[in-house]
Chain A
């Protein structure tokens, strides 16, 4: 773009980056090429560079790209898949760069090849266990089937999933029963044996209560297949089953979409306080001994007749009164910082005056 110097100044050691274009790390039947681009930090492709595939192996050992040079040039390269095999592959790329460029940190691209699978050799069997007779045996070639089941029925559903000629096992293979009336689902996981054949074996005498919750009615049966290596998940309509259960229960109501009960917040109840009369009485009672003290002091003959009115005396007593005033202010709501700040000044004055006053009294006493 204009304004940006597209020719990155070639100093030694300009790093390059590998970018996968067009989401081409997912190879499918419609998208068979891997497209990559080698760019400098400004996003501009590095001219005069070549790329090659060193290896592109999957977990099974098969290669998706043949080793060799990639087509394209001037920073944009592509390579077509030689053979489409489903799986995840690690493609290692090698580069030849003009002088001054550093090879990219990561020259490994994880490539996924997705291919569809087919349902093969399916048999849908309903057997009456008590009478030992087969009620239904269908290979699903004509589409979904209709069936009826009750508590003495056993359902056996065999199938395999094929990718071309080969049978495969995939990550998520479920059979889903959906109640057509209540839309509730019951899932069963299909297990594959050593020959990669999937089976669902359901005995309704036990499954009706355990899995279906004894809810009877019409169920649609679907086969769901999902995997990372499928282009999209498969949902195959297998059958419609009429499940007859004596004493069929009503399914539990689905409360998840209804309003929950309203929560009223209960604020913390304030603690019980005593009636104000009692508090007032005790406030008075606490202050009363102070009066008694003054009376007793008077009786004992305590007096301040000996007080000298000197500078230190005024400073000391004034300072003490000021400290009391600061404390009263603090109690009334001034914060601790202001209090301590005021206190610091007053305390120094009070201390000095007090020290002078008391030493003069002590000296006078000694002299006597």
Chain B
């Protein structure tokens, strides 16, 4: 049987996948996601994504350390961990607000304004974190 080749959202690879297997497997979905990400995402957002990945790994390492050696002193662990969590959140905010696809939602907030908020929030965050770290 010949599958009709319709032009539409899905590229050729996807239709090939569907026609050959019937339903996409996990590996196919992941590789498709990776390709789309690489091609469609602007460079600025990829930079922010790399930063977010770094923050997350730092948080995970701190958490693993705490699980290994215990929570004393608890305030230090909390301040470090929450610093990573909050930095991640601020990074995500920056990413959302500087995504060109979202300009309709953030009409009044330019990318520069988002960046300025990001910097200011980080200044306050690090002051508090350094105070709490003990």
Contact = CB atoms under 8 A, between A and B. Distances in A.
B58 A273 contact: no
20 contacts: A271-B73, A273-B69, A278-B68, A282-B61, A285-B65, A289-B57, A289-B61, A296-B50, A301-B43, A302-B43, A323-B123, A327-B127, A327-B130, A330-B127, A331-B130, A347-B123, A354-B116, A358-B112, A358-B116, A362-B111
B32 interface: no
Contact of B61 (A286, A296, A354): A286
Interface string B53-78: 11001100110010011101100000
Nearest to B52: A293
A253 interface: no
Contacts of A272: 70, 72
B57 A297 contact: no
B57 A331 contact: no
Contacts of B130: 327, 330-331
Interface residues of A, number: 34
A285 B62 CA distance: 9
A301 to B, nearest CB: 6
Range of interface residues on B (Cβ < 8 Å):
20 to 34
B12 interface: no
Interface of B: 43, 46-47, 50-51, 53-54, 57-58, 61-62, 65, 68-70, 72-73, 110-113, 115-116, 119-120, 123, 126-127, 130-131, 133
A297 B53 CA distance: 12
Nearest to B114: A358
A289 B61 CA distance: 10
Contacts of A297: 47, 50
A362 B127 contact: no
A2 to B, nearest CB: 69
Contact of B119 (A293, A296, A343, A354): A354
A169 B110 CA distance: 100
A10 interface: no
B119 A327 contact: no
A134 interface: no
Contacts of B112: 358-359, 361-362
Contacts of A347: 123
Interface string A316-337: 0000100100010011000010
A296 B53 CA distance: 10
Interface of A: 271-274, 278-279, 282, 285-286, 289-290, 292-293, 296-297, 300-302, 320, 323, 327, 330-331, 336, 339, 343, 347, 351, 354-355, 358-359, 361-362
Contacts of B51: 293
A298 B43 CA distance: 12
B132 to A, nearest CB: 11
Nearest to A331: B130
B54 A290 contact: yes
Contacts of B72: 271-273
Given A278-B69, A285-B61, A300 B50 contact: yes
A349 to B, nearest CB: 13
A1 to B, nearest CB: 67
Shortest Cβ-Cβ A-B pairs, 6 listed: A274-B69, A358-B112, A293-B54, A296-B50, A271-B72, A282-B65
A329 to B, nearest CB: 10
B115 A302 contact: no
A359 B112 CA distance: 7
Contacts of B70: 272, 274
Nearest to A290: B54
B58 A358 contact: no
Nearest to B57: A289
B116 A302 contact: no
A323 B126 CA distance: 10
A361 B116 CA distance: 12
